[in-house]
Chain A
């Protein structure tokens, strides 16, 4: 058979010499290697105190966005639910009432919007499907929970804080 690269090496099958069969030199060499690791720098990131920065393309927990005036952008069109390969998104639409213009941007809005984080595969297709820029994936991940129910995130978990009424929380959620 022709070799694919010229880096291949013949396996040596010659019987071991007496020194090799003693194994002691090899063991001592191994122990020297492990000992030298005592003085090596430890690459551990001590998690709660230190955090590894996420890359900008990281796909984490979903956030339902608001516009500059603090109105929800989602119109419950259902494109994200259709795009979702894991069928993690469900929603219920409702019509905006006349006195709710400051809450919702369009006439139709999502009265209920749920993402099951146990089903979600964080592929980001919902983000790409959304015509209104209403959903995007943040740089955090879903924290642990005691029950399965706790992993079904509703609007109160997903919605970004209102930039008008709570600007600090909004800025924090945006990661600024």
Chain B
């Protein structure tokens, strides 16, 4: 086993464990913190794939900004164990079954997708995740979706400002 493989399995185990902890934690703040751990593990995977830019942007945007806003809301709501609604066992079972079905569909779809078959991950060698290549791709091949999404963001920002202005 090479170091890359050890790292891969370690990060995968960490990601899965943290993801389970997100669901199992009683305290919503703990859930958010475990979710941050998941993001770290995923970023580790990006680095293994030599996509350093994606890794760090994942950390800055998701762990650094979005999760902070999540924490804001949760901390201000002052949720704790007592306020958690008591769910019935059947509800939990139904949730587990439907979630499991969804997972199965997703896994089978990904396995059947022609793009993924017979391909290997470019561990440590791929260079599409580097900032230069990513920028070139975004501004040449994918320029229309990129601009559309930026207009979407702009409209969201304008909307936030309008809501924020109380007159």
A and B touch in the complex (CB under 8 A): no
Residues of B whose CB lies within 8 Å of any CB of A are none
